[in-house]
């Protein structure tokens, strides 16, 4: 029997940061978290990236309702974070962390702070199949967005319009400055790795 004992850090793709860059990046992440109220990051996505399918409940029909409710409550209490990725038509993705009990309206409020044109109406949807999210009072857990989900952003353009004013960019410059920086956790892993290499 062969066991793959290679450490996780060998599988990660690292970007070279100088210590000065990492301090600057940490400061920018902290400022963004303070300003927007959530930990956010921005990255580019390929146009052909696939969306994961939802898992089905296998034992759903073999348990009593009381037992299923107890298991659901236990599962819900273990979930402490919902990572929501919002994909924009220009192939940029905004990732934000929320508590599972927060409502979808908190995501909409965050998007109103970070998009370039908050005055234009927009909607969010999931796919496949394309399903518009209409109930903003629903929490992330009830919506099935825990531990994470990908939602898509679109401006609510009437069918007769050409939509030229909605071509992008979709995110403000300040938010786009976080593009490709990873997260504070990624920076810390890189710094720990760099320090470990220097010591050996």
Spatial distance between the Cα atoms of 124 and 89, rounded to a whole number of angstroms: 12
What predicted TM-score, i.e. pTM, was given to this entire model? 0.62
* CATH architecture under which domain 16-44+64-199 falls: Roll (3.10)
pLDDT band at 193, cuts 50/70/90?
Answer: very low
Domain regions of the chain by residue span: 16-44+64-199
In angstroms, the CA 180 to CA 7 distance is: 24
Mean of pLDDT values over 78-102: 89
* pLDDT range class, residue 194, cuts 50, 70, 90: very low
H or E segment and range at residue 74: helix 65-78
Cα first-last separation, the chain: 31
């Amino acid at each position: 029997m062969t066991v793959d004992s290679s450490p996780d850090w060998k599988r990660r793709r690292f970007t070279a940061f100088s210590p000065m860059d990492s301090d600057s990046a940490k400061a920018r992440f902290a400022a963004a978290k303070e300003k927007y109220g959530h930990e956010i990051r921005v990255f580019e996505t390929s146009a052909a990236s696939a969306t994961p399918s939802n898992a089905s409940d296998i034992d759903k029909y073999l348990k009593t309702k009381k037992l299923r409710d107890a298991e659901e409550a236990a599962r819900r209490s273990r979930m402490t974070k919902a990572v929501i990725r919002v994909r924009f038509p220009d192939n940029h993705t905004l990732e934000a962390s929320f508590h599972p009990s927060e409502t979808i309206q908190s995501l909409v409020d965050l998007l109103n702070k970070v998009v370039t044109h908050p005055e234009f109406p927009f909607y969010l949807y999931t796919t496949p199949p394309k399903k518009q999210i209409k109930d903003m009072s629903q929490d992330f857990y009830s919506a099935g967005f825990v531990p994470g989900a990908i939602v898509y952003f679109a401006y609510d353009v009437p069918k007769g319009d050409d939509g030229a004013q909605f071509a992008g960019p979709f995110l403000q410059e300040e938010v786009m400055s976080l593009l490709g920086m990873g997260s504070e956790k990624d920076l810390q892993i890189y710094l720990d790795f760099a320090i470990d290499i220097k010591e050996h």
